[in-house]
Amino acid sequence: MASNVENASKLCRLLGLPAELRNEIYEYALSTGFVRVGDPTERGHRISRPNTALAPLTMTCKQIYKESRNIIYSVNKIILALPSDEKKSNAWFDKIVRKHKACGMRQGIEIWFIPGQTETSFLSRLRVMGEGLRYLNNTGVKVLIEARVHITALKRSFRLHFGINGREQIRNEMLEYIQWSPGWSHMPHKAEKVFNFADSAFSAVWSG
């Protein structure tokens, strides 16, 4: 094994550098701002495949792949596009939680739900993901949720974009996004209904 590494370092100047310098180079080369993971072919997600610019370096050889694969997650913001299939969705989310445990995601994570969520399905998914969401939040990762959900009490679908760090944050950020929706001014008791839904989302995440 030692001879293989020695031979590789002779062929590749990068591998001949100290590990600390290699890690600095990996961080510089792999820092692109964000990385998209999940199912990029899922209908409804406005994203493409994961950043192909990252592939050449990580696929150079097994050693470089092993050394750099987790750095991609630690130096970039992660955008997780959840597929519509709940089993696959949970598997992708669990993978991201494991990645954070392995390397620490310093730049935060956005979780995109497939458009067209019903209120029941959305809250159910938050409830299933609750333990992982709480873990990420409690370790200092900034978590944002992006979804389009049909809110029963308002009888309409709305785009939601909110963090999970506390009941008031969820309430205020939901209200901030929803109040720009067409027809908002004609909805009776609108703020109260948004807050009720926000409280349900808060409970789904934090009551596990």
Mean pLDDT of 107-118: 90
**Mind listing the pLDDT tens digit for each residue in 140-155?**
999 999 999 999 988 8
- Judge contact between 119 and 149, C-beta under 8 A: yes
The pLDDT of residue 49: 43
Q: What are phi and psi of 79, to 5 degrees?
A: -110, 110
Looking at the predicted structure, is the pLDDT value of residue 45 above 50? no
Mean pLDDT of 51-73: 77
**Mind listing the pLDDT tens digit for each residue in 148-190?**
999 998 888 888 999 999 999 999 999 888 877 776 666 667 8
Q: Who wins on pLDDT, 47 or 113? A: 113
* Per-residue confidence band for 52, with pLDDT thresholds at 50, 70 and 90: very low
* Per-residue confidence band for 47, with pLDDT thresholds at 50, 70 and 90: very low
Q: Which of 142, 155, 141, 164 shows the shortest CA–CA distance to 190?
A: 155
The residue extents of the domains of the chain are 16-114
10 Å Cβ neighbour count for 188?
7
10 Å Cβ neighbour count for 88?
14
Tell me which H or E stretch contains 169.
helix 167-178
Pairing of strands 117-118, 143-151: parallel
- Give the separation between CA 129 and CA 94, rounded to whole angstroms: 8
pTM (predicted TM-score)? 0.81
